[in-house]
Amino acid sequence: MPVTFRGAIIDVETSDLFPSRGEVITFGFFSAGEIRIYQKTEQGDDYEFDSIVRSALKLLPRPFFAYNSDFETSWLGVRFELDLMIKWKRLTEDLKGNSNFIKKWPRLSELISIPYEYYRGKVENSGSEIVKLWKMYLKTRDKLNLLRIIYHNKYDLIRECCLLLWDEDTIRLFAEIIEFESENPKTIEEESISKGRQYSDHTK
């Protein structure tokens, strides 16, 4: 069953962290239940690729979504209506007083992992490795490097779609659970043991 929502999730991969030193090399979007990804194969000016990106940005339905949308805006020069990272920035800030909680803002891959990682460990290249993969492709022309970039982009679009489905009430409940578990670790442990006994008795 296709996932449908109003608007478009957009994700780009770039050859550098800063627009003044690099270029967009991968442009992907998730809209109308479909994922499309366009990949550059040559460094420098590429009229066909640039034309596709410009046309897509004009034709894709609003609103636009992205995780850490400031990054996409800096490269594409368009406005995003919703940054999917904002909810999680807010949650991190709210929980900073909890000594057991990670203090930094989460990467997208830290919020949602891909199924392969459960079975085979790390199989996906991280966002920080994209620049290296692009340089390796330009040097060796090994298209496997391009494929790894494309799959990273695809996984991020799927992750962003999942985050879009998390509403504020769900995140608020999640925060309350974290705080409760931190304040009552023994209670949670005892309850888990008790439930474990119940399940065990039930299966006998």
Whole-model pTM: value is 0.77
Q: What is the pLDDT of residue 104?
A: 76
Nearest to 127 by CA among 19, 7, 25, 56: 25
Q: What is the pLDDT of residue 197?
A: 39
Domain boundaries, the chain: 8-86+113-166
In tens, the pLDDT along 45-54 reads: 889 999 999 9
Provide the pLDDT confidence category of residue 97 given band limits of 50, 70 and 90: low
- Bridge partners for 37 per DSSP: 28
Nearest to 17 by CA among 74, 60, 61: 74
Query: pLDDT at residue 134 above 90?
Result: yes
Look-up: residue for tokens 């390796």?
136
Query: pLDDT at residue 161 above 70?
Result: yes
> Using CA atoms, how far apart are residues 148 and 79, in angstroms rounded to an integer?
28
**E strands present in 75-183:** 82-83
Query: pLDDT at residue 160 above 70?
Result: yes
Nearest to 9 by CA among 133, 151, 158: 158
Q: What is the pLDDT of residue 173?
A: 60
Provide the pLDDT confidence category of residue 96 given band limits of 50, 70 and 90: confident
What number is the average pLDDT over the span 92-98?
A: 73
